[in-house]
Structure 1
Amino acid sequence: MESFSTQIKNIFSKSKTDRVYVLGKGSSLGKIAKSRLEDGVVININDSERYYAGDIALVHSLWAYQSIKDNGFKAGCYISDKQMPESINSLQVPYSPDTYETTESYLFSAHGDELFISDFLFLSAIRLGVVMAKELNKKLDIYFLGFDFGSDSNTTLIQDFSGHSQQFRDAVLRTQEDTFIRIKSYIEAEVPSINLIHVGRKPYSDISIGLFNQGNFIDFVEHKSNNELYLSVKDKILAGIPMIVAELTNNHIGDEKRLRTMIRMAKDEGADIIKVQRRDVNTFYSEAELMRPYISPFGNTLGHYRRAVELTDDLFKVLIDECRKNEIFWFTSVLDKNSYDYILQYNLPLIKLPSTISNHRNYLKHVAETFDGDIVVSTGFTDKEYEDFVLNQFTSNNRLLYLLQCTSSYPAPPDACNIAVIRHYSEIRHERFPNIIPGYSSHDVGALASQMAISAGALMIEKHVKLGNLDWVHFDSVALDISKGELKSFIEEVRKAAVICGEKEKKIHIKEHHKYVPNKMNN
């Protein structure tokens, strides 16, 4: 049998990339396109070979061994602390138990170049990655797929043969997840020989499953510019396809990782556009308002809160970078002139003037006169007079004017949604202003009002999103929690409404048929 060093070199000689794919057993693994695994080296954890047999399998538990045996030993090579059958290409290595005291330095230093099997096999996979990188004298990108760290029926792809209770599995998985997060952070700072990349929809994920399947690996593809992405969005809208805007408001709370996660997850859940907000806190609010009591983790005044959660120069760079990587268009609400002047540096093809500033007429006129791009206007807390003002100010050139029906109530009750206004905007579009795009800014609960908005002609649906509950964040109560898949469900329902609406032209549909075929002789 070849030495393991030789086997590693042979395995990588057949690989088209320096990517390593480590396969867990979470249900997200089932969403991974198997064809994407063919260009790298695949490491199976336990019996994940039942989904896709890789080049190397790491095995520790007897139940996993039995499952693999029943499956017919499909992986190319097995590494285990147990002795495998002589007919199987395998390497027996020492067992190193995981303990609470196990530290990163122990994991990556004390063992030298030795391979070992631990209770948490993803640690063994990381260790193997470090050894392989050193053996090959190159940096490896190690992607973790199917590591959902959940054990219920909705999050486990392959049947669990361990015999452990659900309660025990949940406790183990929570501990594993905590360990994974800690080790991932350590590697980013201290282990230059490998990149550890989590694929999924966790807060610490680096790339979504959707982008992984598209081949959009981190920093390895040329991405479209924000303006190019908007042209694609615009073309779809003009073709009658409704676009969904994920409104982040300030739910990123000024945190880079949280902002990246929200962008990535919103795209993965089906959003077409990301929207943020920009306000100059010091001039938008009076000094008295900034001193008003407001309890948040950042202090006890509104000023403390607002200054902490606004996007800084650095966070705008993060926003641009993450939207570029995920190929999703972004734009922003601009609430004051200082913010408008600031945002011009980004050459945005679209900005929004929200309901909040509908009485700031001089500022709105200034934007109408100086901005060359398309504009979104929400009409919450306004009436016919504001509609006339907007139509007069923003339809004088060839721009698109997205006119969004909105009810400034959080949440908006059903009798306040006034979806019929969207039908009115559609009539204005067809009768007077063809560049108007009707839409709906949803502050209601559920998807029904947005579905009805689609039937009334809405081509842009805006919905607030959040990442978990933060009761001290404005509008958190009406936001959809992307960590629970609420945005995905909402978008699916809205898309369903668009399908049901169909086309305006009356014609015989291909799916139509008569229950009884008439007798041609009697016609």
Structure 2
Amino acid sequence: MTDAISNLIGNIASTYATDTIFILGKGPSIDQIDPQIFAGSLVIAMNDAERIAPADISVFHAAWAADSVQANGLKSRAYLTSTPLKAADRSVVQLPHTPLTQESADLMMQRFQAGDLVIEDILFITALQVARKVAAVRGRPQTVYMVGLDFSYDGSQAYSERIDSDFSHARDADRKMVFNTQEFYFLNALYVLKGSEIEVRHVGTKSFSALTPTELNAQLGTPEPLEASDNIHKVDVIAELTTNHFGDRLRLERMIRSAKAAGADYIKLQKRDVESFYSTEQLKAPYVSPFGSTFGDYRHQLELSKDDFAFVDTLCKSLGMGWFASILDKPSFEFMLDVKPAMVKLPSTISEHTDYLEYVSKNYTGSVVLSTGMTDEAYERWVLDNFTACEKLILMQANSAYPTPAEDTNIAVVRRYHELSAQNPRIVPAFSSHDFGWLGSALAVAAGARMVEKHVKLGNTEWAHFDAVAVDLTTPAFKEYVDQIRLTERMVGSGEKRVNKSEHHKYRVAQA
């Protein structure tokens, strides 16, 4: 059992590059914290705190907590519990529950010091044990932020405003007693953990709090976006998720929220029919991943279902952003017509599949994003001759080398697409960045691009392939990319020559 738990925790932890862990309670103070802060780090929720923010691991023992997470839709990747839980598509680990009594308090702290993992009545003790196991798996210290553990109750508001129904039905007197008791054990845990593999930082207004919610937001939150100048913001920034979500809806949600927090206008996914896109030999080939032993096992896991795309659509609408997908074959195109993305993309990967491309051109009237990697001007002419019925044709200069050498980015092609757009307003110039950093995309904007795309990932794993140019959403890199695009827009300006308020004449003409 110990090895199985360590492997489970290790697999989950490997999807994040940060050495930051959040342990979530449900106290009102959590409403003051920017929820995007949680997106790039491992999150451990206690009881049904996953209702407040998506969690990786939830710990609970009470039957009401099981009822709550079941009723509100399972939002964690794994559950450590002593209570039966129906979760066909989640990992559920049954652990013994050890009740707390006056006589057993010392034994609880003894188990804590020994590193024994059981479900304790004081749940944050179990959560901290999980954090210690993460540190052991990663082989380095971790910083643990304890949020929503207010350790106080005045009878007015026990929980976050996002908890709209209380499944526990606890009496006020019981709540007050529990919160006061928890504070005592928390101080005891802080003492035990001094100099250990985890640095625990309580977020709140207690004398022992390391920082307030406001200070946490300032330290880890999303900076305010640059102010627009004369409403110049006309460039759509695309966060290209590819299949870096691994078919994991929770990971997918975190990537979308992180991309939005960084300032992306759209996220982009992929859809392919695995059985027809790859040969039988390719699908049967050995491939090491958590999803099986063949390449087919791996590729099937990465594909999103209609329910997954409906989830993406609902989430993106709630965040005020758009989404679309690269569609690599005819079965996937038919599939996606029912899903109704904002637009469709035809990637460079399939630029030689002209039968399929022609089929799309004749059967789709929405906007088409078309990458031109591995093609020349003959392909450009073919595209312009065939894609005449679509609402917009977004021509995306791309080079299919990962990474693209600086001398091969050929930003001047974007200028050519810009010139074509002046002749044909349906054409939108764009750029797909397979080069490092933001400079190529900024130059593309200066050359007239109205859409730029950057590949993103969420941390690293030991088994997954990431293209070298994908920027990590757990770092500030994508936020910096978006900020540089916005700055470039401001510097390019409107094209209208005028006198600006910042200007003044050093030498004025004398008035007659």
Give the TM-score category using the shorter length.
0.5 to 0.7
Question: Alpha carbons of 1:517 and 1:169: their partners in 2 closer, same or farther (altered >3 Å)?
Answer: farther
Check conservation: 1:467, 1:483, Cα contact below 8 A: yes
Matches within 5 A, 1:253-332: 253-332=246-325
Correspondence for 2:486: 495
State the TM-score, normalized to the length of structure 1.
Answer: 0.59
Q: Which residue of 1 aligns with 2:165?
A: 139
Equivalent residue number for residue 463 of structure 1: 454
Q: Quick one: structure 1 residues 25 and 404, their matched pair in 2 at CA, closer, same or farther if it must change by over 3 Å?
A: closer
Give the secondary-structure state (helix, strand or coil) at the position aligned to 1:21.
Answer: helix
1:350 to 329, 343, 347: 343
TM-score by length of 2: 0.60
Q: 2:472 is aligned with what amino acid?
A: D
Deviations 1:165-197 (A, max 9, x none): xx96895435879xxxxxxxxxxxxxxxxxxxx
Which residue type is aligned with residue 395 of structure 2? L
Q: Within 5 A, what are the aligned runs for 1:110-509?
A: 124-125=149-150, 128=153, 139=165, 171-173=197-199, 241-394=234-387, 396-397=388-389, 399-431=391-423, 433-470=424-461, 472-509=463-500
> What is the alpha-carbon distance in structure 2 between the residues aligned to residue 397 and residue 368 of structure 1?
7
Change (3 A) 1:340 1:174: farther
Assess, with a 3 A threshold, how the Cα gap between structure 1 residues 201 and 349 changes in structure 2: closer, same or farther.
Answer: farther
How far apart are the structure 1 equivalents of 2:233 and 2:253?
Answer: 30
Quote the offset at 1:337 in angstroms: 0.4
**Structure 2 SS opposite 1:478:** coil
The residue number in structure 1 matching 2:28 is 20
1:161 corresponding residue in structure 2: none
The answer to whether the 8 A contact 1:20-1:140 is kept is: no
Partner residue of 1:107?
A: 122
The answer to whether the 8 Å contact 2:244/2:457 transfers is yes
Query: How many equivalent residue pairs?
Result: 353
Tell me the secondary structure at the aligned position of residue 476 of structure 1.
coil
Q: What is the aligned counterpart of 2:511 among 507, 514, 520? A: 520
Q: Secondary structure at the match of 2:199?
A: helix
User: What is the Cα deviation at residue 323 of structure 1?
Assistant: 1.6
Post-superposition offset of 1:422: 0.3
What do the CA deviations read for 1:276-320 (whole angstroms, capped 9, x no partner)? 000001100111222334333334432222111111233223322
CA contact (8 A) 1:468 1:481 kept: yes
Question: Structure 1: which 4+ aligned runs deviate by more than 6 Å?
Answer: 23-29, 199-202, 208-211
> Mind listing any 5+ residue stretches in structure 2 that lack a counterpart?
1-25, 38-104, 125-143, 168-189, 204-215, 226-230
| In 1, Cα distance between equivalents of 2:491 and 2:364 | 37
Query: Would the aligned equivalents of 1:404 and 1:440 in 2 still touch at CA under 8 Å?
Result: yes
| Cα distance in 2, alignment partners of residues 436 and 139 from structure 1 | 50
Q: Give the conservation status (yes or no) of the 8 Å contact 1:410–1:475.
A: no
Which of 498, 501, 505 is equivalent to 1:510? 501
Aligned residue type for 1:106: D
Q: CA deviation at 1:107?
A: 2.4
For the aligned residues, what is the CA RMSD?
Answer: 4.2
> Which protein has greater RCO, CA pairs closer than 8 Å, 6+ apart?
2
In 2 relative to 1, CA 362–105 (structure 1 residues): closer, same or farther, beyond 3 Å?
same
| Inter-partner Cα distance in structure 2 for 1:372 and 1:471 | 42
Name the structure 1 match of 2:184: none
Q: Give the secondary-structure state (helix, strand or coil) at the position aligned to 2:300.
A: helix
Q: Which secondary structure state, in structure 1, belongs to the residue aligned with residue 506 of structure 2? A: coil
Measured in 1, the distance between the counterparts of 2:119 and 2:334 equals: 47
Report the secondary structure of 2:459's partner residue.
coil
Distance in 2 (alpha carbons) for counterparts of 1:499 and 1:168: 49
Q: Is the 8 A contact 1:401 1:435 kept in 2?
A: yes
CA–CA separation in structure 1 for the residues paired with 2:196 and 2:416: 53
Q: Whole-Å Cα distance in 1 between the matches of residues 145 and 491 of structure 2?
A: 48
**Residues 28 and 519 (structure 1), Cα distance of their counterparts in 2 relative to 1, 3 Å cut:** farther
Q: Secondary structure at the match of 1:244?
A: strand
**How many angstroms apart in 1 are the aligned matches of 2:157 and 2:510?**
75
Aligned amino acid, residue 20 of structure 1: P
Q: Is the 2:310–2:339 contact (alpha carbons within 8 Å) kept by the matching residues of 1? A: no
1:173 alignment partner, SS class: strand
SS for the counterpart of 1:290 is: helix
Q: Which amino acid counterpart does residue 483 of structure 1 have in structure 2?
A: T
- Please give the per-residue CA displacement for 1:203-242, whole angstroms capped at 9, x wherever unaligned: xx9xx9799x9xxxxxxxxxxxxxxxxxxxxxx9xx8710
State the identity as a percent.
Answer: 37
Contact in 2 for aligned 1:400/1:437 (Cα 8 Å): yes
Where does the alignment leave 5 or more consecutive residues of structure 1 unmatched? 1-17, 30-95, 110-118, 142-163, 178-198, 214-235
Asked if 1 retains the 8 angstrom alpha-carbon contact of 2:368 and 2:390, the reply is: no
Change (3 A) 1:120 1:270: closer
Cα shift at 1:455: 0.5
Q: Is the 8 A contact 2:240 2:268 kept in 1?
A: yes
Once residues 461 and 396 of structure 2 are traced to their aligned partners in structure 1, the CA distance between those partners, rounded to angstroms, is 27
User: 1:305 is matched by which residue type in structure 2?
Assistant: Y
In the aligned structure 2, how far is the partner of 1:344 from the partner of 1:126?
A: 51
Tell me, in whole angstroms, the C-alpha distance in 1 between the residues paired with 2:35 and 2:334. Answer: 47
CA distance in 1, matches of 2:287, 2:348: 23
Kept in 1, the 8 Å contact 2:27–2:149? The answer is no
Equivalents in 2 of 1:25, 1:456: separation in Å?
A: 40
- What is the distance in 2 between the residues matched to 1:120 and 1:258? 20
